[in-house]
Structure 1
Amino acid sequence: MPKPFEPLRERLLRAGVAPHHVRRYILELSQHFEDLRTDLEQEGYARPKAEAVALNRIGRIDDLAQAMIDQPRLRSWNVRAPWATLVLGSCLAFAAGIMAALMLLASFGPSVPSSWAPQVASGTAFFCNFLLPLLCGWTVAVVAIRQRMDSFWPVVALGVLALVSSAIQVGVTMSGGHGEIGVGAGASLDTVVLLARNLVLTLIPYLIWRKWTETARGIMWADSSSRGG
């Protein structure tokens, strides 16, 4: 039979219960279900009948879901305060990533061979200006999809992150054992180009992925219902 508690998983995630609480709850229920089914089969029940009786003994999906939803402490902070975790958190992660990269460069840069210095400098700038915004944006998308969040706050977070990461640019030069690091903020044609690039590579994939997962889940549950009927 299809996994019996998948509808419950979806219900809890959409209600804002943190994924790790959902995962643990589903695991406990699944183990209890398997134990009951095994006991019933040993009593002489056929597999389909044993599964039906086991599910009936565990309880209705609505009741199982409500038992978790009624506990506010189990709600994810991504649902309680998405402005903080997604919007502010992604921008802080971007800033922390830049600081970490520049601190590593400052620590190990002097020991880099002169022949490698230009590549290290350009690689650091490429990471800060191009890769890091994408990594932060994709993290927002993964968190939002995993939590089954509505699109409003993830879209806001990705938009703000794209704006911030396009306005802040890191420049690195290294030559002859010496280096120079510059971090600047401003608005120019390059900023607009970077803003568009960041949106294209984070916001659009998120919206496509979200649409695809919603469609896939709808097909899966429709198929499960038809088999169950």
Structure 2
Amino acid sequence: MPDRLEIMREDLLKAGLSPAHVQRYLRELAEHRDDIVAYLIAEGVAPQVAQTEADRRLGSNDALLLPMLANRRFRSLAARWPALVYLAIPVCCQFVLLALGLCLLLLATGTPLRASILDLGNGLKLLSYAAPVLIGMLMLAFAHQRRATNAWPIAGALSSAVLAAMVSISVLPSLPGQAGEISVAIGFPSLLPLLITGTLVLLPAAIRR
């Protein structure tokens, strides 16, 4: 039979409470229950009976859950603003990652790595397609920790996949008498990259089911 505190953990997480607040509250309850058990055993009560009595003295699950559920400050950011956490932040992170990669690529043109600029550009393209997959996996794990549904993480991962398919990175190495070029364009998403990336970001959710 599962411990009642673990049952309460599931109830609190499913209600959208922050895992950190849930962990701290349940730890306090566990310590209080252990103190009651230790006191009863010291009074000569059998350990199993002491455990049962300690649970009774704690009160019902509903009574213990109510203070946490009634206080909105214990709710996690993801439960209060899921669109921000699962959509806006991942897409912003993707833009930052792309901008950082482009800056590093530009800096590389002034170093001995300039001879490998085409390979570095291809690596950045690969990273731009891999980012939505990694973001999707992180968002699914984040939602699972909070016992949230997969709807918002999947929406965020698909948004990242669409963004990756919309971004086109072009790197042309310099040739004798011709300057090199690094360019980025955002347009209508390319179908094949969108299908491949979209499938990959949905794969972890399908496996988890």
TM bin (shorter chain)? 0.7 to 0.9
Partner amino acid for 1:196?
A: L
Structure 1 residues 170, 55: CA separation in 2 closer, same or farther (over 3 Å shift)?
Answer: farther
Letter in 2 for 1:75: R
Match of 1:136 in 2: 135
**Which 5+ residue runs of structure 1 have no aligned equivalent?**
212-229
Partner in structure 1 of residue 84 of structure 2: 84
Q: State TM-score, norm by structure 1.
A: 0.77
Closer/same/farther in 2, CA of residues 195 and 114 from structure 1, 3 Å limit: closer
* 2:64 paired residue number: 64
Greater alpha carbon shift after TM alignment, 24-33 vs 62-71: 24-33
- 1: CA distance, partners of 2:133 / 2:22: 28
* One-letter amino acid matched to 2:95: A
C-alpha RMSD over aligned residues: 2.5
Which runs of 4 or more aligned residues in structure 1 lie more than 6 Å from their structure 2 counterparts after TM superposition?
A: none
Query: Match for residue 12 of structure 2?
Result: 12
Percentage of identical aligned residues: 28
Confirm whether residue 25 of structure 1 aligns to residue 25 of structure 2: yes
The SS at the match of 1:181 is strand
Structure 1 residues 40 and 110: CA distance shift in structure 2, 3 A: farther
Matched, 1:166 2:165: yes
Assess, with a 3 A threshold, how the Cα gap between structure 1 residues 167 and 35 changes in structure 2: closer, same or farther.
same
The residue matched to 1:139 in structure 2 has which SS?
helix
Q: TM-score, normalised by structure 2?
A: 0.84
Q: State the alpha-carbon separation in 2 of the partners of residues 160 and 145 from structure 1.
A: 19
Report if the CA contact (8 A) 1:118-1:175 is conserved.
no
- CA distance in structure 2 between the aligned counterparts of 1:104 and 1:13, rounded to whole angstroms: 41
Shift of residue 33 of structure 1? 2.3
Q: CA–CA distance in 2 between the matches of 1:170 and 1:84?
A: 27
The structure that has the greater radius of gyration is 2
Match of 1:182 in 2: 183
Moved more, 157-166 or 117-126: 117-126
Unmatched tracts of structure 2, length 5 or more? none
Aligned residue-pair number: 206
